[in-house]
Amino acid sequence: MEIGERIVQKAHELFMRYGIRSISMDEISSQLGISKKTIYLSYKDKDALVDGVLDIKINKMQCNCSSVQKNSLNAVHEMFLGLDIMEEVFAGFNPSFLFDLEKYHPKQYKKFTDHHNTYLYDTIKQNLEKGIAEGNYREEIDVDIIAKYRIGSMFLIFNMHYFPHGSYPLSKLAIEITDHFLHGLVTEKGKELITKYKLERKKQLL
């Protein structure tokens, strides 16, 4: 692994765990056992390093979405597979990352939200259209509105006004909000699938 890749991978690990602001370039260099000057040879400043970390996060998200689409049996199953991945991501994620990104790195925050409003929007829209075609989602829903609503509800769990950090596990918030979202979408046929996949998830946790 080249030095630039080692630097951004370590920064990604630390930023996700502790937030961005609390991790200095000195801390990253100390963790890697290299000089701070070596970091600046690859990344001119912290903004550039944050940008590199975002690229990792965005690429990982796209890979996860592609994997979920490929391995799902239907639109409802796709939502449950997505929940499994979210739980894995949240296990090592500090909500301060998004707060720090928005407050201290606005250019990178815009890059992050733009990606969600394009790639993630398209992914959700495809799921909705797929679910309607299968008869699992109600055909009268407005796909554009509901796709945007889904993105907004996904970000709601990071809103510290409603959910102060530590008040609920992120995975619990994601499960509750997704459950509410799905029940507003499905037909009776789709509701049977929700019951089925909930039971399967429960068995896996035993």
Q: What pLDDT is attached to residue 160?
A: 85
Count Cβ neighbours within 10 Å for each residue of 130-146 and write b for 16 or more, e otherwise.
Answer: bbbebebbeeeeebeeb
Answer whether residue 11 is part of any domain.
Answer: no
Q: How confident is the model at residue 194 (pLDDT cuts 50, 70, 90)?
A: very high
**In total, how many domains does the chain have?**
1
Distance, CA of 149 to CA of 58 (rounded, Å) = 20
Answer whether residue 128 is part of any domain.
Answer: yes
Least Cα distance to 53 among 118, 124, 1, 105 occurs for: 105
Answer whether residue 122 is part of any domain.
Answer: yes
Residue 93 has pLDDT above 90, yes or no: no
DSSP, collapsed to helix, strand or coil, labels residue 157 as coil
Contact 38, 3 (CB under 8 A): yes
> pLDDT tens digits for 7-39?
999 999 999 999 999 999 999 999 999 999 999
Q: What pLDDT is attached to residue 87?
A: 86
Q: Which two tokens stand for residue 193?
A: 């699938």
Residue 1 has pLDDT above 80, yes or no: no
Domain that holds residue 91: 54-205
Place of tokens 């550039």: 48
CATH number of 80's domain: 1.10.357.10
Answer whether residue 4 is part of any domain.
Answer: no
Fill in the amino acid letter for 62. Answer: Q
| Percent of the chain clearing pLDDT 70 (strictly above) | 99
Q: How many CB atoms lie within 10 A of CB 93?
A: 17
Q: How many CB atoms lie within 10 A of CB 85?
A: 16
Q: What pLDDT is attached to residue 202?
A: 87
Answer whether residue 14 is part of any domain.
Answer: no
> pLDDT tens digits for 94-150?
889 999 999 999 999 999 999 999 999 999 999 999 999 999 999 999 999 999 999
